Amino acid sequence: GGEEGAGPVKVGVALTDILTGLYSTVAILAALAHRQHDGGGQHIDMALLDVQVACLANQAMNYLTTGVAPQRLGNAHPNIVPYQDFPTADGDFILTVGNDSQFRKFAEVAGRPEWADDPRFATNTRRVANRSELVPLIRQATVFKTTAEWVTQLEGVGVPCGPINDLAQVFADPQVQARRLALQLPHALAGLVPQVASPIRLSETPVEYRNAPPLLGEHTRQVLEQVLGLKAGAVEALRQSGVV
């Protein structure tokens, strides 16, 4: 990733690590289903590299079907225009026009209905081909309304968009608060510690939040004795020798 003509930019969060964990969960569930059906276990081989390549999604297919490596587009979309961030009177917002009908509605809200009939912009294929002409025109229009005005007006006509929030704005968002995505748990050393809630919502077996992240080695003895079945003397010997 990165802006056109500039250097590469890393993703802000270690998504490959997270996605590999999620893929691993899916693989474990698949293996458990197989075991219940045939009674046999199996080895699961997960690699960060494999997951990163698998998650390239449309960019990978763009290359595999054309033989042309995608170039850096910053926040833009390689196959859809306009589908990126735009400046507003008080910040920035993301505009994700998914089809020609939505583009026409956007053009009307922007006060430029003629864009939808312009041969250069009338279809997504033409908008992609004329990206360098259209995007500057849109930028000149979006700066005249606030982010809230754009989001309200475009959502009102069914054009996907959204504000670009910092984390303070994320956790102040009414929907984030209504979904209780931030929570606090008691901690042995810190009183209460903040946590992010699980996005998994199960009707019959909801996620339970019982404990804050453990201290270093907090459960070592419990794991060794109750899971591995070591005797207390053996655990103490490991402690004395510095193994645990």
Two structure tokens written together for 239: 């402690």
Q: Nearest 5°: CA angle at 19, between 13 and 20?
A: 120
Q: Which residues contact 90 (CB under 8 A, 6 or more apart)?
A: 146, 147
CB atoms within 10 A of CB 103: 23
Active site residue 100: no
Please tell me the distance from the alpha carbon of residue 134 to that of residue 120, in angstroms, as a whole number.
8
H-helix or E-strand spanning residue 187: strand 182-187
CA 116 to chain centre: 31
Distances in Å between the alpha carbon of 129 and those of 76, 141, 213? Answer: 13, 20, 51
Distances in Å between the alpha carbon of 130 and those of 141, 151, 180, 231? Answer: 17, 25, 43, 72
The residue annotated as part of the active site, out of 17, 50, 90, 117, is 17
224: DSSP letter: I
Catalytic machinery residues: 17
